[in-house]
Amino acid sequence: MNWAHVHIGINHAPVIGIIFAFLLLIWGMMKRSEEVKRISLGIFVIIALIAIPVYITGGGAEEVVKHLPGVSESVIEKHEESAFSTFIMVEVLGLLTLGGLFLYRRPQNFSTWFVILSLTLSILVGGLMVRTANLGGQIRHTEIRSESTRTDMEMKSGTLSKERREKEN
CB 76 within 8 A of CB 66: yes
* DSSP letters for 96-130: HHHHHHHHT-SS-PPPHHHHHHHHHHHHHHHHHHH
pLDDT at 163 over 80: no
Whole-prediction pTM? 0.82
The conformational region for residue 32 under phi > 0 = left, psi -120 to 50 = alpha, else beta, is: left
For 84-95, what is each residue's pLDDT tens digit? Answer: 999 999 999 999
